[in-house]
Structure 1
Amino acid sequence: MTEPERLRADAVRNRTAILRATEELLTRYHPQQISMEQIAAAAGVGKGTVFHRFGSRYGLMRALMQERAQDLESAITAGPPPLGQGAPPRVRLLAFLTAVVDLVARNKGLLAALGPAAPVTTAPVTTASASVTTVPEQEPREAHPVYKSWHGHISQLVYQQRQDLDADMLAHVLLATLHSEPILNALQRGDGNRLDRTLRDLVTGLLPE
């Protein structure tokens, strides 16, 4: 193996180790209780490696959520029905919401870490005393690529079934339930099935066969 190939292989291993360590820590701690130092120690890498790969804790959580969502994305685009193409829009939407509830229920800590107040990058600000501080910039939740993908898929299926509805707003409403504190608390108690049933009731009421 050449030196560049070895470095690339090391980078892939480090990235995988960091993401797995983060995922394991999230099963035991709230995101705000997890430091980059803890993640680096659990992954067996230096703290600098974690920052180099992901930039910030938010960047790390974002990357992990995107990885968790990739399997669902593949099922939508290339998998069999009802998640994949071939089923009626209403059936696909119900299957998708069930899959999303399951994913969120298994990754509650990630969802909490990706709230709208989470820092994305830092920008230097010069004060009157000429000292330099850093101020976190904010990213709205709807700008997150996973959210945008899910919203686009839901709104498309709603529009295909009922063109008289505001598919864009309805998609936001359905996804907003997954980010509310009472819902996250319910998922923490293991009430994912209740949420799934309620979302199905809403969809079947709005999108009759």
Structure 2
Amino acid sequence: MFKGYHCCLLLKLLGLDICKDTIVGDEMHRGVSGGQKKRVTTGEMIVGPTKTLFMDKILTGLDSSTAYQIVKCLQQIVHLTEATIFMSLLQPAPETFDLFDDIILLSEGQIVYQGPREHIVEFFETCGFKCPERKGLADFLQEVTSKKDQEQYWVDRSKPYRYIPVSEFASRFKSFHVGMKLH
């Protein structure tokens, strides 16, 4: 797998130090576990001079604990090296979602929100929608832009509910303080 002194920290961060002398394996030879293979791939992407990584659904098929560990490791690498990682995820667990600094919420090919994670709830509240305490924020974000699921989050009782299309959210974001600062 990884060799050399410089990789010891990365192995520890990725939780691969326990299997550093194990072959990765293939169809013919048993090697590290599936979760460890994904972390090896992540490590291969991180090693080198790259300052920006694009990662598409790298956590698919992993249990939530392993997914959390990988994202936590990537967060530490980003904060230590000032790198940038764009990562697409489908419905991450709340504790994993909370590790992200910034969120880009895309729906129907439009940017609905782009900015610090801590302001995304505020944005939807200004649009009349609230994430219930019992609901994970990632699930809420997926559903609040959906015609089928949106109404359950409507809290502005001073106005009757009407479906807010994605295009309207995208337009409202431009006048939201985060959107204005981004522009």
Q: Which has the higher contact order (CA 8 A, sep 6+)?
A: 1
User: Normalising by structure 2, what TM-score?
Assistant: 0.30
Which structure's residues are more often strand, by fraction? Answer: 2
User: Normalising by structure 1, what TM-score?
Assistant: 0.27
Which structure's residues are more often helix, by fraction? Answer: 1
